[in-house]
Structure 1
Amino acid sequence: MAKASKFPKPLYRAMFISDVHLGSKGCQAEALCEFLKHNTAGTLYLVGDIIDGWRLKKKWYWPQAHTNVIRRILTASKRGTDVRYIAGNHDEFLRGFLRFKVNFGEVKISNREIHIGEDGKRYLVVHGDMFDGLMRADRKWIMHLGDNAYNFLLWVNTKLNFVRRKLGLPYWSLSKSLKKRTKRAMNFIHSFEEQVASYCERKGFDGAICGHIHVAEMREINGITYMNDGDWVESCTALVEHHDGRWEILHTQPHGNFDAVDGRAENNLRDAEALLVAE
């Protein structure tokens, strides 16, 4: 799987990262840079929403830390890592170039990949937005509204964690907490996972690896292995395959130093919670 290289054997056979949202103020770029510095893989899958085109279209935001993430990825590619970039909904602008088979340096760009595990099982690797009913053309405005609500939650989260740091308390995710407590959000997550598994079952895949919903997970659904690598906005998680075929979700402590996220006062927490499922 990995390219022949003069560099040391990578730490993992494969690594999956998604929903980084470079170009947004909620991106945990510094935490990701630190993670990539100490974790290497034979194949690195960037499973969509690495660049947040939606945010950049509204307002340009690109600090040095975001450039450093790109540099880390390109450096990994030069050192023998097979890097594969799968387009998501926030970086859907890349999908317009797929028919031209355009690559970014050594980085291959596609709409989906098939990962063959150490045990020979076939895993479909997609961002996952195609399984989200809110991504239909006639309902996409709801997704954009939810994106604004989610950014408002991050703004609130910034203020809460500023106080928590002053009190010596660890980082706490407001969005994640609301998801766990909101029946509508949980129903959406379970429905999404089941749709992904059902599709893989019909198409003859042994499992699926995706992102999109910002909820890291590994579980069996009707004989299909469903795995989600989470996100790098709040959870800071990555999915890895060890050289012996074991799968694991790695957690990195967020820095908790979000910049102020654009949001208007008329957005309230009740609306944000109701739209969490549309992030």
Structure 2
Amino acid sequence: MSDIHLGFRDCRADYLLDFLNSVECETLYLVGDVVDLWALKKRFFWPAAHYDVLRAILKKSRHGTRVVYIPGNHDEPLRDYVGETVGAVEIKHEVIHQTADGRKLLVFHGDVLDPHIRLNKLEHLVGDVAYDFLLFLNRWGNVIRSRLGLGYWSLATYIKKRVKNARQVIDIYEQAAAEEAMRRGLDGVVCGHIHQPGMRMIDGIVYCNDGDWIESCSALTETDSGELQLLHWSDRQRVLREFDSQVDLHQAEVIPLRKAG
């Protein structure tokens, strides 16, 4: 999972904490932007739930789960510690993960692909302001939905999928990620960075984006047999997409997930 953004007011630490307490895994990859140092520099924000998320991750590391931290652009200073182990947490620049069925996947945050997305300074400024406004609407919209008894819904994700320029940026990023895995002779790539969960085949390469915990509340998981599943986890849990080596990518039936225990 990636793009948790602890220290940022729109981080859905409540849903993430429920996810961490509900699943067990052999390896947990934290694929960048776990702690949002950019946001903390502007305004210190660290509620108890954000501390509880870190404590849950460290608890897993002490009880047999291998935890690998791959810093992103919002927690870039931690890249100074790449190659070291802090507590029981390994800090890596990137890793090659081999699935249970033998596929090799490049795992990295994805900000190294930014040069492929050519935006001028004005577009960046407008994009940042517009995104902050979308998150504001998203936050208060879900407050209202909760009071009406409705489930979590991401307005920001809905709009990004339907704005032409945003969709083009996402497509360019996904193509660049797949090409990087292809260049290295790998079977696929797992990344984050753009806050857009996805799973699809691109020129024979498995592209997986595990999303974020601000908008999509999503994570990528692997079953014991090597099947990849993209999960959404908020007040409702469901499988978004799934893929295995025998069956092509397909939209999974939207069904509730049973929590461990």
Question: What is the TM-score of this pair, normalised by structure 1?
Answer: 0.79
1:158 equivalent in structure 2: 139
Give 1:80 shift: 0.3
- Distance, in Å, in 2 between the alignment partners of 1:251 and 1:171 is 11
Pick one of 188, 191, 196 that aligns with 2:177.
196
CA distance in 1, matches of 2:51, 2:235: 19
Change (3 A) 1:145 1:19: farther
SS in 1 for 2:68: strand
In the TM superposition, residue 159 of structure 1 has moved relative to its aligned partner by 2.1
Q: Deviations over 1:54-79 (max 9, x none)?
A: 10111111111001001000000011
Deviation at 1:174, TM superposition (A): 1.4
Change (3 A) 1:127 1:121: same
Corresponding residue pairs, total: 236
Deviation for aligned residue 1:161:
2.2
Question: In the alignment, which residue of structure 2 is the partner of 1:7?
Answer: none
Superposition pairs for residues 99-248 of structure 1, below 5 Å? 101-133=83-115, 146-248=127-229
Deviations 1:88-122 (A, max 9, x none): 01111111232xx3322110011111101112221
Q: CA deviation at 1:254?
A: 5.2
Deviation above 6 Å: which 4+ runs of structure 1? 138-142
Per the alignment, residue 2 of structure 2 pairs with 18
In the TM superposition, residue 134 of structure 1 has moved relative to its aligned partner by 7.7
Q: Matches of 1:151 and 1:134 in 2, distance apart?
A: 23
Report the more deviating stretch, 142-151 or 209-218: 142-151
In 2, distance between residues paired with 1:229 and 1:213?
10
Secondary structure of 2:19 counterpart: helix
Counterparts of 2:12 and 2:126 in 1: how far apart (Å)? 22
Mean Cα deviation higher: 31-40 or 159-168: 159-168
Structure of higher RCO (CA pairs closer than 8 Å, 6+ residues apart) = 1
Aligned partners of 2:20 and 2:171: how far apart in 1?
Answer: 30
In structure 2, what is the Cα distance between the partners aligned to 1:21 and 1:108?
19
Deviation of residue 143 (structure 1)?
A: 5.2
Is contact 2:194-2:211 (8 Å) kept? yes
Residues in 2 aligned to 1:85 and 1:140: alpha-carbon distance in whole angstroms: 31
Amino acid at match of 2:47: P
- Of all paired residues, the percent bearing the same amino acid is 47
Unpaired segments ≥5 residues, structure 1: 1-16, 256-279
- Say whether residues 1:250 and 2:231 are aligned partners: yes
Contact 2:7 2:35 in 1 (8 A): yes
Contact 2:70 2:91 in 1 (8 A): yes
Whether 2:35 is the aligned partner of 1:51: answer: yes
Contact 2:116–2:176 (8 Å) recurs in 1: no
Q: By how many angstroms is 1:172 displaced?
A: 2.2
Whichever structure has more helix as a proportion of its residues is 1
Tell me which residue corresponds to 1:42. 26
> Where does the alignment leave 5 or more consecutive residues of structure 2 unmatched?
237-261
State the partner residue of 1:4: none
CA contact (8 A) 1:43 1:82 kept: yes
Residue 230 of structure 1 aligns to a residue whose secondary structure is: coil
Quote the Cα distance in structure 2 between the aligned partners of 1:61 and 1:142: 28
* Alpha-carbon distance change, 140 to 210 in structure 1, aligned in 2, over 3 angstroms: farther
What TM-score, normalized by structure 2, do the two folds share? 0.84
Distance in 1 separating the partners of 2:34 and 2:124:
18
Corresponding residue to 1:88 among 45, 59, 72:
72
Q: Give the CA deviation at 1:145.
A: 6.5
